[in-house]
Structure 1
Amino acid sequence: MQTVKNSQRGFTLIELMITVAIVGILAAIAYPSYTNYVLRGYRSEGIALLSDAAARMERFYAQNNTYVGATLATIGITNANSANNKYTLQLASAATATAYTLQVVPQGSQVKDTTCGTMSLDQAGNKLPTTAECWR
């Protein structure tokens, strides 16, 4: 009488648990990096919105020799939200004859961007926050 040896194939529970642990560690490292990357990517929307509004303000000044009377409507901005609604454009205060300050306020999921938060730009090109990371 011959005995037939059955060979079993598959993974042991230990092998599966090790794999799950490795995937968990990789995810714990990768997810925060990915989140920061997404926030930084949307930050460019706010910068573009500020730059466009600043160019329109300068055009208004060139035509009127003053910033007085410049509002988002008078400079031709009908929608103060960025393309993906991540930022809203505002005049930080009423424009004077020689000065203005524009700001973009984060909306929705972009409020998690605590590195930069609300960004502003004035007529002299001064940027807040001053961190270079916020403006690249």
Structure 2
Amino acid sequence: MIRKNGCMQNTKRHKGMTLIELLIVVAIIGVLAAITYPSYQEHVLKGHRSSAMADMLKIQIEMELSKSKIGAYNSATIVSGGSCDFCDTDSERYTFSVTESSATNMEAYTIKAVPRKNSPQIKDKCGTLSLNAGSVGTANKAGVAVDGCW
């Protein structure tokens, strides 16, 4: 007589995952998202800030070209309505302006990039960016100077 092993009758393996395994995966994804999302937002703000700084340098080059061609700075043709034709910065994030003075030194003009009030860039730690004729860049947020932005 042949005996069957009663323990091995149901050898079929179950496929799929249990609810606990699924909940563990969802919890891990939630923790990772909570850690990485603020860092991602900071990188986006920093990227737009870098773009604005590059555009400020382009504006400065155009100002100096204007000075060498016609003997005077001509900011009105370079920056109008808060933006410039050759700027790559998202116009929804920054407003550019150039303030000229009668000085002939490093303070002959100041280029500013101000974050727009209703844009996400208003949360940037550097706030308003300034660049003078001597290529000295500064940043201030709510009237307080911020280091490490330039």
Whether the TM-score (by the shorter chain) exceeds 0.5 is yes
The equivalences for 1:55-70 within 5 A come to 55-67=61-73, 70=74
The equivalences for 1:1-136 within 5 A come to 5=10, 7-67=13-73, 70-73=74-77, 76-77=78-79, 80=83, 82-83=87-88, 84-85=90-91, 86-91=93-98, 93-98=99-104, 99-107=108-116, 108-113=119-124, 115-129=125-139, 131-132=147-148, 134-135=149-150
Structure 2 distance, partners of 1:119, 1:105, is 7
One-letter amino acid of the structure 1 residue matched with residue 138 of structure 2: L
Question: Cα RMSD (Å) of the superposition?
Answer: 2.5
Q: Is the 8 A contact 2:79 2:97 kept in 1?
A: no
Specify the alignment match of 2:142 in structure 1. none
The alpha carbon displacement at 1:78 in A equals 5.0
The alpha carbon displacement at 1:63 in A equals 4.0
The alpha carbon displacement at 1:26 in A equals 0.6
Measured against aligned partners, the alpha-carbon deviations of 1:63-106 in whole angstroms (never above 9, x if no partner) come to: 45554xx3332xx3456154322322102x44324211110112
Q: TM-score, normalised by structure 1?
A: 0.76
The size of the alignment, in residue pairs, is: 127
Q: Which moved more, 1:44-53 or 1:54-63?
A: 54-63
Structure 2 distance, partners of 1:127, 1:23, is 41
List gaps (5 residues or longer) in structure 2.
140-145
Structure 2 distance, partners of 1:72, 1:48, is 19
Please tell me whether Structure 1 or Structure 2 has the larger radius of gyration of its CA atoms: 2
The alpha carbon displacement at 1:30 in A equals 1.1
More strand by share: 2
One-letter amino acid of the structure 2 residue matched with residue 96 of structure 1: S
Q: Which has the higher contact order (CA 8 A, sep 6+)?
A: 1
Q: Which moved more, 1:115-124 or 1:58-67?
A: 58-67
Q: Is the 8 A contact 1:66 1:96 kept in 2?
A: no
Structure 1 distance, partners of 2:23, 2:112, is 50
List gaps (5 residues or longer) in structure 1.
none
The alpha carbon displacement at 1:8 in A equals 3.4
Specify the alignment match of 2:143 in structure 1. none
Structure 1 distance, partners of 2:68, 2:133, is 13
Structure 1 distance, partners of 2:51, 2:76, is 17
